[in-house]
Structure 1
Amino acid sequence: MAERSQHLQDVFLNTVRKQKISLTIFLVNGVKLTGIVTSFDNFCVLLRRDGHAQLVYKHAISTIMPGQPVQMFEGESPE
């Protein structure tokens, strides 16, 4: 059976979710959000900070900046 390819954004978001890496998310309107990804799907990201959740639509995201290096693939050294 053919192996399903994963999108880079899914690999990235799943890695930071599993490792509970704090992120800064910049929206297209300039708003800056910080928190930890608790869930995501094709259209949105659920961000949690201080016990509060924010549902952010992916089309509103400009940039995602992790608070520490992210090792997404096995054998890769964090930069």
Structure 2
Amino acid sequence: MSLPLHLAWSGLTTFDLDDDLLLLGLYRIVLANGLRNDITAYLNADLLARHWPRLRIAVGKPVRTCWEQRFPQLVTAAAA
């Protein structure tokens, strides 16, 4: 999957989603910098919940707090 330059402006733009590290990198970028259309285009709810325990650390506290307040199921996923 390739991200547009308004998201991936500082480096890697193509991500192999079969590689967990690259998937996490793409999700981190979209979670931190994506607009509504980007979020719906590039994120999958099941993958987000599955990888949230690692992603919540990578995105930092402000992004983590925002996402966990809006989607309480992520808090549950992180506790599992």
Q: TM-score range by the shorter chain?
A: under 0.3
With the length of structure 1 as denominator, give the TM-score of the two structures.
Answer: 0.28
Higher relative contact order (CA 8 A, sep 6+): 1
Larger helix percent: 2
Larger strand percent: 1
